[in-house]
Amino acid sequence: MHNLKIDKIFKKLSNDISQPKTELKYKNPYTFLVSVILSAQSTDKSVNLATFDLFRKVKTPEAMINLGEKKLKSHIKTIGLFNNKSKNIISLSKILVDKYNSKIPSAFNQLISLPGVGNKTASVFQNEILNIPRVAVDTHVYRVSNRIGLVKTNNPDDTQSKLESIIPKKWLKSAHHLLILHGRKTCKAIKPKCDNCSLIKLCEYKSKKINYENK
């Protein structure tokens, strides 16, 4: 896909989505990182409901350690994989206190070394908190970018590197959110709303009749 077409895609998306930003509710960088960890295989809405009371009590790694794994589980038990996520968040908090003076490291390699923090979580953190343009790839970004023809990739890591290399610089900071929100509201996995999509003339989905419903 040539640069002019890519630019048109993101221009249309930015016109459709006036505020391309995270829907996660947080108090500071630490609570944002916790929220992103919790959001894996869960909706932002369910995470916000679970953290509403949690973040009244906990805003720092020390407070999370003092809360303890058992009480943390009681706050997030409605979220998928809450047992494993609770364990990772407590372990992460201890590492932040012991190794990083309770601060979250900014380097990508240091971030992904933390329990529960993979490429996607680290990229989301860098993009949102550190203002480093990254295109974190979740199921929506992967599906939408392949479906409309921005990329032809087989896994999230390849998708991220490809998108970051082809998306014009002016759209890189917002691209992650634009693609996610477009996937949630219009380009759904099952029964995408093609008739109401502003990208219909730029999209390869219908013309090639590719079935991406399971992606």
Q: Dihedral sign, CA of 183, 80, 108, 18?
A: positive
Catalytic-labelled residue, pool 7, 16, 44, 138: 138
- Tokens 């295109």 locate to 135
Mark whether 158 is an active-site residue.
no
Q: Where are the alpha helices (DSSP H) in the chain?
A: 3-16, 29-38, 44-57, 61-76, 82-100, 108-111, 119-128, 139-148, 156-166, 169-185, 205-208
- Tokens 């640069």 locate to 3
- Tokens 């009244």 locate to 56
CA Rg, the chain, in Å? 18
Max Cα distance, the chain (Å): 56
Mark whether 138 is an active-site residue.
yes
d(CA 204, CA 215): 16
116 in Cβ contact with 95 (< 8 Å) = no
Q: Dihedral sign, CA of 194, 195, 196, 201?
A: positive
Which residues, other chains included, contact 66 with Cβ-Cβ below 8 Å and sequence gap of 6+? none
**Residues identified as active-site:** 120, 138
